[in-house]
Amino acid sequence: MCYYAQHFRRSGSQSGLLLFDDLCDTGAVKPLYNGLSPRALRAVFEQLANLHAYSLTNWTWHIGADKMLRSTFLEVQQAFPSITRHRIYRTIASLQQDFGNFFLVDNGRASLLDELAAAVEDQLALHNGQLVHQELGMVSVLTHGDLWTNNILWRKVPDSDGETFDEIIALIDWQNAHAGNVAEDFVRLLGSSVDPEVRRGELDHLLEYYHGCLLARLRGRNVHGIPYTVEQIKHAYERFFGQGLLIMLPSLSGHADE
């Protein structure tokens, strides 16, 4: 875990440095195949509320940091939409070939993968899911950009075989961090690391919990208004959900480098 960075300067006496802490003895990821529990999800949403409260009340954010902090990964996707489409269609074809039977419905007469392929163009046509907060007049927040199970470290249970508590000790891999949609990390987390039944059943509760945490954090910083309603956050989530899952699909299926 990196706590501090100092630029290296070729001229002068300043040396570059990175200050790290090794968390291997105290932290571990939860297995992706288990899915995160509602309690673990609340812990993540609480940390996102802390992060968003910081960016909403940080003066450098309001004087331009949100415009300078951009995601190269997202910009490449938007600049070369044909590459994004190609990766998604290749992934769907691979899933059809390797696991097609798992996606059959209607007594084998139809495939959910065919429905998914038919929806790609509609979901990617405008490629504006990341911009929905601007359309709604919602202030951008610091967004992790790659928030899923493998980028969350949880406190280990002592003397156990990899078991963890529902206590977060670090969110890692921030190379896709950018100023973005308040719901963007929600989509990536809930779409990649949660059982569908939990995602659907807990969404409203999680958004209410997040909203309450954000309000409390803002009040702690002497800000007594909140820039979003729960309804706005849910609308932003729903607008970005389909597109966000399609963009994640190659990575989650093991075809990220195609």
Strands 110-111, 2-6: pairing kind = unpaired
Q: CA angle 41-185-23, nearest 5°?
A: 65
For the chain, percent of residues with pLDDT exceeding 90: 46
Per residue in 13-56, pLDDT (tens digit) is: 667 777 888 888 889 999 999 999 999 999 999 999 999 999 89
Measured CA to CA, the distance from residue 229 to residue 156 in angstroms comes to 35
CA–CA distance from 56 to each of 131, 165, 211, 214 (Å)? 17, 30, 14, 10
- Domains for the chain: give ranges and CATH numbers: 23-253 (3.90.1200)
Assess whether pLDDT exceeds 60 at residue 111. yes
CA proximity to 29, closest of 40, 21, 18: 40
CA proximity to 147, closest of 229, 226, 52: 52
Report the run of H or E that residue 244 belongs to, with start and end: helix 230-253
CA proximity to 238, closest of 119, 112, 148, 129: 129
Average pLDDT of the residues in 80-86: 75
Measured CA to CA, the distance from residue 93 to residue 102 in angstroms comes to 14
Measured CA to CA, the distance from residue 239 to residue 189 in angstroms comes to 15
CA proximity to 179, closest of 22, 11, 3, 55: 55
Task: Provide the pLDDT for residue 258.
Answer: 45
Contacts of 89 (CB under 8 A, 6+ apart): 117, 120
pTM score, two decimals?
A: 0.85
Is 111 in a helix, a strand, or coil?
A: strand
